[in-house]
Amino acid sequence: MPPAVQDDAPPSRLQLPDWPRLMSVGYAAAYLSISNTTFRTLGIAERRIGRRVLYDRKDIDLWADRLSEDPLDERLRSVAEEERLFFARRQQARQ
């Protein structure tokens, strides 16, 4: 169980070895080692329980996992697929 901290006070990793599933902005920002302000700009989906705004650790992890994806690779894959389809249609038209 994490120690009691203020909602926006970021806990240290030593204070919080087992991160909770749903985190306040302070916990979530500390989880990514960024400021609360920066965290709020990331666009990670928020969950509401009453008036509390919480962030799911799975959503945060998914966002962090996407950092390693290269968007250019995806674009090149789609261009290659489009080119492949073009040549397949062209060959079918010749037959």
Tens digit of pLDDT at every position of the chain (95 positions): 454 445 556 655 556 568 899 999 999 999 999 999 999 999 999 999 999 999 999 999 989 988 877 666 666 677 777 888 888 888 888 87
pLDDT on residue 33:
92
Q: How far apart are CA 5 and CA 3, in angstroms?
A: 6
**CA separation (Å) from 94 to 16, 80, 85?**
66, 21, 14
Dump strand ranges (E) for 5-86: 22-23, 47-49, 52-56
Task: Give the pLDDT confidence score for residue 1 in this predicted structure.
Answer: 44
Q: CB atoms < 10 A from the CB of 73, how many?
A: 9
CB-CB neighbours of 75 under 10 Å: 10
